Chains A and B, each alone.
Chain A
Amino acid sequence: MSTNHQTHTLTDILIPTPLRAYTGGQAVVAVEGATVGQALDHLTARFPVLRKHLFGDDGNLRAFVNIYLNDEDIRYLQRDETPLGAEDRLSIVPSIAGGGADVRAFAC
């Protein structure tokens, strides 16, 4: 473990079912980091395949990927800079969307 972090807060991250294939089957992974961004970096350093599933080519979280700190979406907190406390819990939560007929079919 790195000793460079200012804190050694360990935060549980809840992993959605399909991504457990890349965490050795673990539904909850304890990660190190003082902020949400550090925790996600630590998670993807331990399980590198997760990175392409969570982040797009532009390095940002994919549009359907939401990170919750306890009951709050980090987009409404301080995003990657959101500080983590001792009792905090992170969740990776997908948005699900789609639908039948394509819009362009209606535009013809």
Chain B
Amino acid sequence: MHTLPDVLDAVRAHARATYPEECCGFLLGRAEAGGHHVVAARRVENRRAENRERRYRITPQDYRAADADARARGLDIVGFYHSHPDHPARPSATDLAEASFPGYTYVIVSVEGGEPAALTAWSLAPDRSRFDAEPIDLLPATLPTP
């Protein structure tokens, strides 16, 4: 995915705020031939009723609300993010078992003792057998001023 430093910082800030529970949210942008361009992260409440330290859930109702807002801004939901409190920033067996459609970008940020650490991006293989690492291409934070 291609994104901006501010977007990843927003993900990290959310992960810090919900620690020791997992945070989750949407990646908004555009699906393009060269990969997803992510221009914003949108927070959403972790709807798991319990075990939020190691589980997250985004409901279809929340998805629909985020999708409507994104489309009103000319954007699409191109992926999701969630945190792994005191756990590595790589997909777990649960992440694979409960994965959604291939074609989204899944960002994971680990949080170690309350502080955001590694941040990684992943794509679900078309046959749903595994997650593959997805490169994160950071675009310049701002355009050069004339």
Instruction: Verify that A and B bind, or say they do not.
Output: yes
Give A residues with C-beta under 8 Å from B: 16-21, 53, 64, 66, 68, 73, 91, 93-104, 106
- CB-defined contacts of B99 to chain A, threshold 8 Å: 64, 98
User: Which 3 pairs across A and B sit closest by C-beta, in order of nearness?
Assistant: A18-B103, A100-B84, A99-B55
Interface string of B57-100 (1 = CB under 8 A from A): 11110011001000000001110101111110001111100111
CB-based contact A68/B60 at 8 Å: yes
- CB-defined contacts of B82 to chain A, threshold 8 Å: 98-99
- CB-defined contacts of A91 to chain B, threshold 8 Å: 64
Do A19 and B103 contact each other (CB < 8 Å), given the known contacts A95-B59, A97-B55?
yes
By CB atoms of chain A within 10 A, which of B51, B60, B78 has the most? B60
CB-based contact A100/B76 at 8 Å: no
Do A93 and B94 contact each other (CB < 8 Å), given the known contacts A17-B76, A64-B100?
no
Given contacts A21-B103, A100-B86, 13 further A-B contacts (CB under 8 A): A16-B77, A17-B76, A18-B101, A18-B102, A64-B98, A68-B60, A96-B58, A96-B100, A99-B51, A99-B54, A99-B92, A100-B83, A103-B94
Provide the bound-state CA to CA distance between A18 and B101, in Å: 7
Quick check: is B31 within 8 A (CB to CB) of the other chain? yes
Provide the bound-state CA to CA distance between A97 and B101, in Å: 12
| Secondary structure type dominating chain A contacts | mixed
- CB-defined contacts of A106 to chain B, threshold 8 Å: 54
Shortest A70–chain B CB gap in Å is 11
Give B residues with C-beta under 8 Å from A: 22, 24, 31, 48, 51, 54-60, 63-64, 67, 76-78, 80, 82-87, 91-95, 98-104
- CB-defined contacts of A97 to chain B, threshold 8 Å: 48, 55-58, 98
- CB-defined contacts of B101 to chain A, threshold 8 Å: 16, 18-19, 53, 94
Residue from the list A19, A96, A98 in contact with B63, Cβ < 8 A? A96
- CB-defined contacts of B104 to chain A, threshold 8 Å: 17-18
Residue from the list B67, B78, B86, B94 in contact with A102, Cβ < 8 A? B94
Do A53 and B94 contact each other (CB < 8 Å), given the known contacts A93-B60, A96-B57, A96-B63?
no
Provide the bound-state CA to CA distance between A96 and B62, in Å: 10
Provide the bound-state CA to CA distance between A106 and B63, in Å: 30
By CB atoms of chain B within 10 A, which of A18, A99, A102 has the most? A99
